[in-house]
Structure 1
Amino acid sequence: MTPLIAKLLHAACMVAWWIIRLPFERKTRRNVLRRDAMDGREKLLLLISLTGLGIIPGIYIATGFPAALDQAFSAPRAVFGLVVFVASLALFRATHKALGRNWSVTLQVREEHALITAGVYRFVRHPMYSAFWLWAIAQAFTLQNWLAGPAGLIGFGTLYFFRVGREETLMRETFGAVWDSYAERTPRVIPFLR
Structure 2
Amino acid sequence: MTLTIAKAIYVLLAVGWYVIRIPHERRSRRTPISRSARGMREIVLLTISFTGLGLLPFIYVATGFPRFANYQFQPLLAWIGAVVAIASLVLFHLTHRALGRNWSVSLDLRESHRLVTEGVYRYVRHPMYSAFWLWAVAQALLLPNLIAGLSGLVGFGILYSFRVAQEERLMLDAFGAEYADYMARTGRVVPRIS
Distance 1:48 1:13 in 2: 19
Distance 2:190 2:142 in 1: 22
Equivalence for 2:91: 91
Q: Against the structure 1 CA distance between its residues 65 and 29, is the aligned structure 2 distance closer, same or farther, given a 3 Å change threshold?
A: same
Q: Which runs of 5+ in 1 are unaligned?
A: none
Distance 2:13 2:157 in 1: 20
Equivalence for 2:57: 57
Distance 2:98 2:146 in 1: 36
Distance 2:183 2:84 in 1: 27
Distance 2:60 2:85 in 1: 17
Superposition deviation, residue 38 in structure 1: 1.0
Amino acid at match of 2:88: S
Does structure 2 retain, via aligned residues, the 8 Å contact 1:143–1:149? Answer: yes
TM-score by length of 2: 0.98
Distance 1:192 1:35 in 2: 30
TM-score by length of 1: 0.98
SS of 2:35's equivalent in the other structure is: strand
Q: Which runs of 5+ in 2 are unaligned?
A: none
Equivalence for 2:30: 30
Distance 1:4 1:142 in 2: 10
Q: Superposed, which structure 2 residues align to 1:69-84 within 5 Å? A: 69-84=69-84
* CA-to-aligned-CA distance 1:51-97 (integer Å, 9 cap, x gap): 00000001001111112211101001011011101100000000000
Equivalence for 1:147: 147
Distance 1:68 1:187 in 2: 39
Superposition deviation, residue 115 in structure 1: 0.2
Equivalence for 2:172: 172
